Chains A and B, each alone.
Chain A
Amino acid sequence: MWLSNRFNPPRAIIFEGSGMALLEQITLALQGGDTDGITELLKEALADKMKPGDILNSGLIAGMNIVGEKYKQHEIFLPEVMLAARAMHVAMDILKPLFMKDDVPALGRVVIGTVQGDIHDIGKNLVAIMLKGAGFEVIDLGNDVPPETFIETAVEKQAKVIGMSALLTTTMPVMKKVIEQLKERGLDGRIKTIIGGAPISDEFARRIGADAYGYDSVQAIDCIKKLVAES
């Protein structure tokens, strides 16, 4: 099939007993979406007393960044990104219990959802997976989310960013409502907004006063990193 023809995950070169090589292998296993391989490699790395923070940053996140870069260059497509994100999930399940509270600084909290009246959540789910993969804490409100719920959750959970998705042209105006209500409550600037979805454009985002527009899930993660750094 077309998938297997095109999809040749890079193979790891094994240097035994070298910590660098192990991280490299983790990076490659992640890019190839190899969940079994990554589980084995993580066990090995932890047995070698590597720090979970190093494994996360120099192995997993490094791998995810390469995936993002290749996606932007149209070298890989959604299936490969989804497989890598799935491997990231598996890896995070292994690492999470090992992190002490302050060991790895969380990048921040993001509230995400598909806006009221809209139930299309494939894109939103992808962004949520990618955000978790990048090290963010994600509060996923699901779909058909009213403006108040976005804002109240963000305030309550001290989230830095609200991410909104819409597929229907008829539900796009809900995004504007959220941004207006943030302004009314004096929260704009403190809580940043990013929007995305098939009918959304950069121009629309600017017009309604959103802080960013994510063309696709990979670009959305880049934008959210910037928004968090600014806040």
Chain B
Amino acid sequence: MKELLERIAAGDVLVADGAMGTMLMERGLAAGSPPESFNLERTDVLEQVAQEYLDAGADIIQTNTFGASRLKLARYSLGDDIEKINKNAVRAVKNVAQTKAYVSGSCGPTGQFLKPYGDVDHAEMRAVFREQIGALVSAGADVICIETMSDLREATCALEAAKECGSVPVMVTMTFNRTPKGFYTIMGVTIEETVKGLEAAGADIVGSNCGNGIENMISIAREFLKFTKLPIIIQSNAGIPELIDDKAVYPESPEFMAGKAKDLLAMGVRIIGGCCGTTPAHIMAIRKVVDAYGQV
């Protein structure tokens, strides 16, 4: 299998996978327990999910490690199992993906804030990411995906930590809200600031995930392309959930998202996947659109 960055440099568009949390809940994860708890006892479920996304046509499959940092898992008394939780997750995906897809080590926010507005200092935050990403890389992750960030300083801590772990490529995605003044993260970071900060810290791929349906994501991607030549990744939610009969329903169908994904392709977005509310059916529909686009 060619290196991920080589394929992108050669002009390939890659398809990433969809949501993880909902897949785990359908397979027995109790509300309120951390998804990462499955990495200790139920790696069979992790393999099932990876298999579904592989079958749907994903080129990149994420590990179930979004919240697998010490700062987050300590709250569930899982702080001593960080290495095992991260390594098991990589191995589970690797067992399924083999040489057919890239294993992407997911790394989400710690849920804590950096000083001065929070209590965590820069060195501690960086050490927390270093521990998690170190485990992901040593277990064989092909790429690290730092995602759903809203604080550029936290994202940069994670990115710097990832860069210390060898030559593994690093993608960083942040989550934006549309305001009358443009797109901002909840911490007030613009897309331009995101791009400049992440480029300077050595990101290989940048983009956005979560928080928006595909239509806002098209505007976000356009903004990213204005400011950077780095490859762009977009992982959209299937819209914003509506509660129907006490159950959250994401409104965007696979066909709708895949139809709009054509706009992302036309713009030159290089990795397209899904976030909350997307399913293997969404990924399969996007796969078809990406393949058809290459044929034109």
Give A contacts to B, CB under 8 Å.
Answer: 1-3, 6, 33, 74, 76-80, 82-83, 86, 116-120, 122, 144, 168-173, 176, 199, 201, 203-204, 207
Contact = CB atoms under 8 A, between A and B. Distances in A.
Nearest to B192: A2
Interface in B171-215: 179-181, 184-190, 193, 197
Contact of B189 (A2, A120, A122): A2
B248 interface: yes
B252 to A, nearest CB: 15
Interface residues of B, number: 31
A76 B190 CA distance: 12
Given A1-B197, A2-B189, A144-B32, 10 more contacts: A1-B153, A77-B187, A78-B188, A80-B188, A86-B117, A169-B247, A171-B32, A199-B243, A199-B248, A207-B243
A133 to B, nearest CB: 14
B143 to A, nearest CB: 26
Nearest to A35: B116
A176 B188 CA distance: 32
B246 interface: yes
B187 A74 contact: no
B30 to A, nearest CB: 8
Interface string B144-168: 0000000111000000000000000
Contacts of B28: none
A199 B251 CA distance: 13
Given A79-B117, A176-B246, A117 B181 contact: no
B57 to A, nearest CB: 27
Contacts of A144: 32
B111 interface: yes
Nearest to B185: A77
